[in-house]
Amino acid sequence: MKYLIILFVLFSFSSCYVRIGELTMISTRNVDSKTDYKLIEKYVVGKAKSNSGNALQIAIDNAVRSVPEGEFLQNVRISISQNGRKVKVEGDVWGIPNVNKQVTKSVKKEVEFKTGDKVTFRNAFGKIVEGEILGLNQHTAIIEFTNAFGKKAKTEVKYEEITQIGTN
């Protein structure tokens, strides 16, 4: 009975995974040496279970793809289960960060349009056009602008589609 208790205690304190190695970098994709990669997230874990022998590749992909811009792992620890079918990969994910996340935008809460304000908007062809507000309605403004033929024209534009560039 004592031997059973000792074995139970030994197994309960032993890990399900055995560390088989530590690597500086690992990836399942090509890494461009000329690209300036950045650290995206520290200590990411990827696990996989496979009978066909590709568990390491799946675990690496799971770790890298868990972070949206991830490309490869650095400071990697690889562990396998005692039966060899489960693989765990731990490391720091590096990649090319999305530029939009680094830009901070600040806008006034309210923009008040007045008759005579200089504004821009997109015309029917998608070009940005400058004009002047002639009148205001509840949801739209009447804007006078110079069309593609060089003649003065008027149009009605929703407030959401107008950008104020100068005030009267």
**CATH fold group of domain 118-166:** SH3 type barrels. (2.30.30)
Query: pLDDT tens, position by position, for the chain (168 residues)?
Result: 555 555 454 454 455 777 777 888 888 888 888 888 899 999 999 999 877 778 888 889 999 998 888 899 999 999 888 777 789 999 999 998 776 655 566 666 678 889 999 999 998 888 899 999 999 998 899 999 998 888 999 999 999 899 989 877
Residues of each domain in the chain carrying CATH 2.30.30? 118-166
What is the average pLDDT score of the chain? 83
Are the beta carbons of 92 and 72 closer than 8 angstroms? no
The tally of CA atoms less than 13 A away on the side-chain side of residue 57 is 6
pTM of the model: 0.50
Q: 130-141: per-residue pLDDT in tens? A: 999 999 998 899
Collapsing DSSP states into helix, strand and coil, what is residue 63?
A: helix
The amino acid present at 165, given as its one-letter code, is I
Q: Looking at residue 136, what is its pLDDT?
A: 92
**Of the candidates 35, 92, 96, the residue with the CA atom closest to the CA atom of residue 60:** 92
Q: Looking at residue 80, what is its pLDDT?
A: 86
Q: Looking at residue 133, what is its pLDDT?
A: 93
Q: Looking at residue 117, what is its pLDDT?
A: 92
Q: Looking at residue 84, what is its pLDDT?
A: 74
User: Cα separation of 101 and 31, whole Å?
Assistant: 23
